[in-house]
């Protein structure tokens, strides 16, 4: 009967669409898992130590691979210097104080990177930044790391308070502390 033939064609067409859909998913799934494992990861913020920028429970997409790390540092330095100039042109005293603080932070981070052996300003237009050392972690930056005691690996996100050569003192009970730099060979 023609109705039965039409119903069989409909069923074959639907199963063909399902097969194509499943084949697409089966092809894309390993690529998505590999991409997530190699390049990006999703991390949930735990705790209130990074407020107001990151609040407890926020979900952050983290880039694991740092392609051309030297070029990224160069762009960061350029952006920070432009931001400082824009604030100084604003004319307000508060902006001037913030710009001065930002300039001191930029100089301090540049000196720390130079002491650690990282080039502060890589050669532009070359492939050299591809083979430079990874960027140094500086105080105030947010860092993502694998928990050494958890299996399977769990990613944690924390703000860097101090690096080697600095001492942290916690003067009040709220946990707010000050970082004191220890002079080398002192």
The tens digit of pLDDT for each residue in 62-94 reads 877 665 555 555 555 555 555 445 444 444 555
48 vs 186, more confident: 48
Do residues 161 and 139 touch, judged by C-beta distance below 8 A?
yes
Residue 129, pLDDT score: 47
pLDDT 10s digits, 50-65: 777 888 888 888 877 6
128 vs 58, more confident: 58
pLDDT 10s digits, 1-46: 667 766 677 777 778 888 889 999 999 999 888 877 777 788 888 8
- Residue 61: phi, psi to the nearest 5? -90, 120
User: Which residue do the tokens 């979900």 mark?
Assistant: 59
- Of the pLDDT bands very low, low, confident and very high (cuts 50, 70, 90), residue 182 is low
46 vs 181, more confident: 46
Cβ burial, residue 158 (10 Å; 0-12/13-18/19+): middle
Residue 27, pLDDT score: 92
pTM of this prediction? 0.46
């Amino acid at each position: 009967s023609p109705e039965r033939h039409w119903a069989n064609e409909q069923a074959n067409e639907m199963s063909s669409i399902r097969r194509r859909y499943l084949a697409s998913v089966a092809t894309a799934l390993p690529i998505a898992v590999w991409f997530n494992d190699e390049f990006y990861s999703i991390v949930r913020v735990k705790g209130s130590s990074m407020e107001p920028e990151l609040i407890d429970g926020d979900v952050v997409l983290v880039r694991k691979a740092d392609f051309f790390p030297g070029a990224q540092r160069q762009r960061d330095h350029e952006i920070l210097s432009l931001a400082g100039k824009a604030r100084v042109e604003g004319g307000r005293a508060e902006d001037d104080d913030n710009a001065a603080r930002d300039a001191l932070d930029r100089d301090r981070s540049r000196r720390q990177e130079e002491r650690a052996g990282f080039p502060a300003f890589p050669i532009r237009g070359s492939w050299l930044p591809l083979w430079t050392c990874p960027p140094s972690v500086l105080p105030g930056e947010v860092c993502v790391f694998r928990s050494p005691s958890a299996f399977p690996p769990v990613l944690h996100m924390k703000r860097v308070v101090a690096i080697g050569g600095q001492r942290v003192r916690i003067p009040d009970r709220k946990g707010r502390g000050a970082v004191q730099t220890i002079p080398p060979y002192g």
